[in-house]
A and B are shown apart, each in its own frame.
Chain A
Amino acid sequence: MTDSINATGADGGLGGFFQNLTDSIISQIPFWQDVLLPALWDGLWVTMQLVVMTAPLGFLLGLLIAVSRVYGSAPVKWLAQLYVIFFRGCPLLVLLFILYFGLPSVGIVLGSFMSALVGFILCNSAYNSEYLRGALQSIKRGQLLAARSLGMTKMQGVMYVVVPQALRRALPGVSNEFIYLIKYSSLAYVVAVIELTGAAKIIASKYFMYFEAFAAVGIFYLVIVTIATIGIHRLEMKYAIPGVSGAVGKVSKGH
């Protein structure tokens, strides 16, 4: 036991072990400062761009698909359904390959970043549409009937009465999908987009610092996901309907 510790420390003893550890960390500071972190910041910037552009577009497209599936005419329903079957059924990796390597052979060249972005939006919207469809269908029929009885068109009833309620119900699912998006955005490296994970991979193999690079990248993701989770929680609190179970009321209950 003591032998092994002694063997680690150059001048023997516990103090020596920590001395060594500190020395090795200090000796790595230039690597972190000058190589790893700058590369990761660049990668983070690309990841953020992908996520920040995909999330709203994937959400809106998902909503459009969901509303089409629930309230559209027969052909519109059918098209929306086809969209979901295709983009939910196709593995994201395969989808990215098709967009990046396949489309150029029919004359459509999207480039790395665009391929990743388009792939993510298609995938994200297909999944979101399923959460939103379930939520739309869970809203009681009477809500739309009441809206229509007041003279609202079907469109107005859906927009002002059903959708706002459905969004609240879909929020946990859509949020979950957002967290997934942050993580699967690392797949962009297969179409040569150097985002957070890709950046770490390059540094790791170049400097043979696998543990450091991926530990750092893990912490980056953890921080992003934690911030996102806090944001989502705030959103849920903000839009909770007072009086509905689990919701925090703005107005206290009467009597």
Chain B
Amino acid sequence: MSDVPILKVENLCKSYGDLEVLKSVSFEIYKGEKKVFVGPSGTGKSTLLRCINQLTIPDSGFVYLNGEEIVHSGKKINGYRQKMGMVFQNFNLFDHLTAVRNVELALLKVKKLDKAAAHEKAMYELEQVGMADRADFYPAQLSGGQAQRVSIARALAMDPEVMLFDEPTSALDPELKREVMEVMRKLADRGMTCIVVTHEMKFATSFATEIYLMEKGEIVEHGPPSDIPTSPGFVKTRAFMGSYVEE
């Protein structure tokens, strides 16, 4: 574990009008760690992820990527964002491009690779997620699980240092969730640093190095998943998981 965290979030605050969505959220993540955020809907988990890569600009607070502050970094944010791959609940694949072109686009336009190099890199990433045989399919021709795997490949192609997953399996049928989780586990095994928002409790506890419970814009409990069943510090988390399973 190096001494500078890959990502450090400090006192992040964000409001929409009168609604305080994030109330001074702080945490840090080191290389290879997997932090999983759980909590009821509408508590600001997505907002937190978007405030990390600045797709949403926080009202106050700081985000440090390898020690560099990025909230107020102006145009340099486009460079920083490549280091933080993001996977969305609804995949957000570019609808007009085939799977392989989805992965190639930012390689061509952002990383400025030439066509052959971009194609080779894109095919490699598709292979990693088991989607090389669907390279020429358009998003509308893919199942949800396949589309999500392509979107993971697209993010990985930028060689990120940390991956942000925002409910990557929530839009998927149960049997399709598994293929995406498998890809994520494989990624984790290769040492990728991950921040994951999910409602899949079994996956969360087996995947995470640390679990965070968010409620109303705040981290209310956190710790290693092995503590969840017994620790007094995980009372609310146990209640949340219990209520969630029953739902």
Contacts and interface: CB of A to CB of B under 8 A. Distances in A.
Contact of B88 (A142, A241, A251): A142
Given A148-B55, A148-B81, A160 B109 contact: yes
Contact of A243 (B53, B85, B94, B138): B138
A164 B95 CA distance: 10
Contacts of B139: 243
B176 to A, nearest CB: 13
Given A160-B109, A244-B95, A145 B55 contact: yes
B38 interface: no
Interface in B82-137: 82, 84-86, 88, 90, 92-96, 105-106, 109-110, 134, 136-137
Contacts of B78: 151-153
Contact of A150 (B75, B141, B155): B155
A141 B86 CA distance: 15
A178 to B, nearest CB: 22
Contacts, number: 89
Contacts of B142: 254
Contacts of A153: 75, 78
A168 interface: yes
B169 to A, nearest CB: 17
Contacts of B84: 149
A151 B79 contact: yes
B90 to A, nearest CB: 6
A129 interface: no
B110 A149 contact: no
A152 B86 CA distance: 13
A152 B141 contact: no
Contacts of B96: 164-165, 168, 241
Contacts of B158: 150-151
A244 B142 CA distance: 11
A156 B106 CA distance: 9
15 contacts: A147-B106, A149-B84, A149-B88, A151-B158, A160-B109, A165-B94, A165-B96, A168-B96, A241-B140, A242-B140, A244-B95, A244-B140, A249-B138, A251-B138, A254-B142
